Chains A and B, each alone.
Chain A
Amino acid sequence: MPADGGIGASTKRREDVRFLTGNGNYTDDINANGQAYVYFLRSEMAHAKINSIDTSDAEKMDGVIRIFTGEDFVEVGGVPCGWEVTDRFGNAMQEPRHPILAHGKARHVGDPICAVVAETLEQARDAAEAIELDLEELPAVIDMKSALAEDSPKVHDELESNLCYDWGFVEENRDAVDEAIKNAHHVTTLELRNNRLIANPMEPRVAIGMFDRTTDEHTLYTTSQNPHVIRLLMGAFVLGIPEHKLRVISPDVGGGFGTKIFHYAEEAFCTFAAKAVNRPVKWTCSRSEAFVSDAHGRDHVTKIELAMDEDGNFLAVRTDTHANMGAYLSTFAPSVPTWLHGTLMAGNYKTPLIYVNVKAVFTNTVPVDAYRGAGRPEASFQLERVIDKAAYEIGKDPIELRRQNFITEFPYATPVAVEYDTGDYNATMDKMIEIADLAGFEKRAAESADNGKLRGLGVNCYIEACGIAPSNLVGQLGARAGLYESATVRVNATGSISVMTGSHSHGQGHETAFPQVIAEMIGIDPSQVDIVHGDTSKVPMGMGTYGSRSLAVGGSAMVRATEKIINKAKKIAAHLMEASEGDIELKDGQFTVAGTDKSVAWGDVTLAAYVPHNYPLEDLEPGLEETAFYDPANFTYPSGAYACEVEVDPETGKVTIERFSAADDFGNIVNPMIVDGQVHGGIGQGIGQALLEQAVYDEDGQLISGSYMDYAMPRADDVPFYTVDHSCQTPCTHNPLGVKGCGEAGAIGSPPAVVNAVVDALRRAGQDITHIDMPLTPSRVWQAMQS
């Protein structure tokens, strides 16, 4: 390994130099010659019939170039959905049309109705105010259960009902699970809500459409986690642009958290309008607009039942979930409450029978899709909460109840269709107990009591499925995309390397971590390797970054391409040293011939590849550039054990997190510092969900928490100093790096730990409380203590 910077080194992030000095190149930093601006006039009503739109006065206003309405998009495709779920009766989900601009009806507050393109943004806004909209307000469909009532108004008149699908998994287990629950010694039941969240990346969404009439080429700059996915969806399904005439660029992106995976109407609009008005068209989302146009996350209402025998062995789990889809199906929305959720309901436990029922529901709210963890936090939360409640009910220690039911032999095929390759749940539990100093808890609880505070301890485990995903499998499950990843490794003549990766970094640190892998493989300094990403004209078709997949899938593609490079370089080295290829070894950037003192440097070999004077041209092409596409054989299964200690102020109900400890098993680790940061960020977002964040609609469909005045983001003083450990490592067995992914773990593992801790604190104080719905605001905790 190089002295500094190979696999396992906590190399400082090279991209931070530009980010921290204000030199990042974000989409909004890009301005095209002759650029016009678009302002979207959005619905202020949750559900309304569009009677008429009169733009005649607005069109005459200063600076207005053109005003678009839904009529302009009747001929093009709607915003497509990338995943088709089949319901428990074998039918395809109900899939409504999602027009670029609302047509006929507006279906949520924030649904764009008109788009004004003008010379300046202020002129566009002025003109938007002069548009005369005749909207007829319709009753809003907000509550999911009411939405499924026979007499409910419909979000989409052309659909049979507001039910997108009724999914059962595993449907064949349904009767057996019912029977097991009916006959069980003890059944613990918990009803809960997984609160609706808004991702709030620091950088709002931005899109710039451009069109070159001389070449018919479209360019879209956009804040995307996966520019190729946008090119495919928008080119093929919305605007009918062939891919060689459509370039999508996502430069520096300031945080995604899932909500920048999806293809949005605004991107298609800017691309379409740039051609229509023959000008570059730019849209920068305001923060207020982001609240009502970025896809939201979570929003499940669940009843879970856990059946046990007299010894506390888990016999069966049955869940009944309503999942909010919002008004339209966002790109991956149908997959989140189904394949990313139901398949995780075994958790870390050998429960033999599991049945998951999910009813996905249309409502007059912003579309809901993947948010950090996507389905897996919803699964972990309900499972780890019901286990805690079960431990309380049967009088067992929650750690012991978990241990007793742990899966201990791998590979393990769960009853919910996935096979865990590796894991050691007792090891992470032991590690958590150690780093959390659980032995000292009672002493700390006594100190808290002396200060008039109630201290509580919450522990939980989690498992997630990352490294998304085997393409043939997801194809069977309804994905309309492959989920491989790509990499081209281009070795330059003097030995430096450019890696074109289909992964996209929007904060993850790929520019630092990926070179560490290549540096390790070849034995050169990582500064010799640069990462190129985010431009469909530069990198091979890739699927982007989400689901903790970049290193496990994108990194694996890079490893495969680098292996091809090394194989070819060894052939060249063998020729240069007049040795047999089989005797060539590569170490520390030197090729040597086994058993001799002959050697040739990496740079000499790469130069020979491009200046092939002394080169086996008959047998080998010149040049040194290789591409690999890697399709994973399975998901990866990171797991861990978390502990949270809280103090509750009994007078106000305010919860403060005093300690948070995370023992994770991510398999092998490339850059421990970046992994720490990923876990810190994930836990921060999990604490945000558990204590602070909630997107709340009133019964008319107005978003009450529509700004930072009411939507509480976690701040530095809301979170403690974390203790994180990832020394428990059971490497993934099916990818070349043995890595599992770490991006979502913190957000998956932390909400149940926090809620378990608060409930524990209140119980220790003699309160008969079994659950409080997130977020555990002071008001809610106090209210719970009064009843």
Chain B
Amino acid sequence: MYAFDVETPSSVAEAVAALKDEEATALGGGQTLIPTLKQRLAAPEKLVSLSGIAEMKGISTDGGVLTIGGATIHADVAAQGDYPALAALAGNIGDPAVRNRGTIGGSLANNDPSACYPAAVLGTGATIVTNTREIAADDYFQGMFTTALEEGEIITAVKFPIPEAASYQKFDQPASRFALVGVFVAKTADGVRVAVTGASEEGVFRWSEAETALNKEFRSDALMDLNINAMNMIGDLHGTKEYRAHLVKVMTRRAINAIG
């Protein structure tokens, strides 16, 4: 680890001000950034910790919308009862140490192509709230490790319209236990949404053919004739492109069956 300074602002405004410094980097729960620093793969001069900002923490439900503060840890999301599919997803991220440090805002800002939260956000059609604006999930994810966030922009909250029913089915990568493939299926007011993480070189994506088929008929058999193109899938030590494409279908079917 290289030497760096740490600031611990207590409000979003202070954090925004601190991040105006070009050499500053925001620190959420640190589950990706700290290992990166330990390996000397990043050298920020200043870390601005978001974990001391009270207004970015906590979970509330109002008018069918679950709002989660950007600095809320996974364990707290796992403990809420208003959106069970999201709670189950959060409760299966990493291990207890990760779930008690890692934050939803940190995960979404990082947008790891194998992370679980992006599938929930895209699959629910959630809204990312930042210090300057609100960004629809469909506009937010822009490819692996890439998002719509501007330099210095902070995710202060995420708003999930609670769907009629939802399920996240994750197939673990055996070593990291990130998603080798994870599929989030939600029946929302605007129709069925299917979001896939872990599988694509492009990061999280919506499987629109499946959505179309499921909007006609919400049964796993509706996917029978669909096939997902393996070309853009990730192929690595843990699974070929074809295997991931296959798993997308299996996990989608399982999510549909879990919803019933």
Give the interface of A toward B (CB within 8 A).
122, 125, 129, 288, 651-654, 691-692, 694, 696, 704-705, 708-713, 777-779, 782-783
Contact = CB atoms under 8 A, between A and B. Distances in A.
The 4 lowest CB-CB distance pairs between A and B, nearest first, are: A712-B175, A779-B239, A712-B174, A709-B176
B240 interface: yes
A651 B250 contact: yes
A567 B174 CA distance: 58
Contacts of B240: 779, 783
B174 A652 contact: no
Nearest to A692: B174
B207 interface: no
Contacts of A704: 237
Interface string B217-242: 00000000000000000000111100
Contacts of B237: 694, 696, 704-705, 710
B239 to A, nearest CB: 4
A710 B246 CA distance: 21
B176 A122 contact: no
B1 interface: yes
Contacts of B174: 691-692, 712, 777-778
A519 to B, nearest CB: 41
Interface residues on B, range: 10 to 19
Contacts of B238: 710, 777, 779
Interface in B42-77: none
B198 to A, nearest CB: 13
A253 B126 CA distance: 50
Q: Main secondary structure on chain B at its contact with chain A?
A: loop
B39 interface: yes
A196 to B, nearest CB: 13
Contact of A779 (B3, B40, B243, B250): B243
Contacts of A654: 171
B115 to A, nearest CB: 13
Given A651-B250, A696-B237, A705-B237, A783 B243 contact: yes
Contacts of A777: 174, 238-239
Interface of B: 1, 3, 39-40, 171, 174-176, 180, 237-240, 243, 246-247, 250
Contact of A652 (B39, B40, B247): B247
B159 to A, nearest CB: 32
Contacts of A711: 175
Nearest to A698: B237
A286 B174 CA distance: 23
Contacts, number: 47
Contacts of B3: 122
A768 B25 CA distance: 55
Given A704-B237, A778-B239, A779-B239, A652 B171 contact: yes
Contact of A710 (B1, B39, B176, B243): B176
A654 B240 CA distance: 15
Contacts of A779: 238-240, 243
Contacts of A122: 1, 3
Nearest to B95: A715
A782 B249 CA distance: 14
A782 B176 contact: no
8 contacts: A651-B250, A653-B243, A691-B174, A694-B237, A696-B237, A709-B175, A710-B176, A778-B239
A783 B239 CA distance: 9
A530 to B, nearest CB: 37
Given A651-B250, A710-B237, A288 B175 contact: no
A406 to B, nearest CB: 37
A316 B195 CA distance: 57
B145 to A, nearest CB: 15
Contacts of A710: 175-176, 237-238
Contacts of A782: 243, 246
A704 B237 CA distance: 8
A509 B250 CA distance: 47
Contacts of B40: 125, 129
B157 to A, nearest CB: 30
A618 to B, nearest CB: 69
Nearest to A649: B250
B225 to A, nearest CB: 17
Given A710-B237, A779-B240, 11 more contacts: A288-B39, A652-B247, A652-B250, A692-B174, A694-B237, A704-B237, A708-B175, A711-B175, A712-B174, A779-B239, A783-B240
Contacts of B39: 288
Contacts of A288: 39
B176 to A, nearest CB: 5
Contacts of B243: 653, 778-779, 782-783
A710 B180 CA distance: 11
Contacts of A129: 40
B175 A705 contact: yes
Contacts of A712: 174-175
Contact of B176 (A652, A653, A708): A708
A482 to B, nearest CB: 41
A698 to B, nearest CB: 10
Contacts of A778: 171, 174, 180, 239, 243
Contacts of A709: 175-176
A704 B174 CA distance: 15
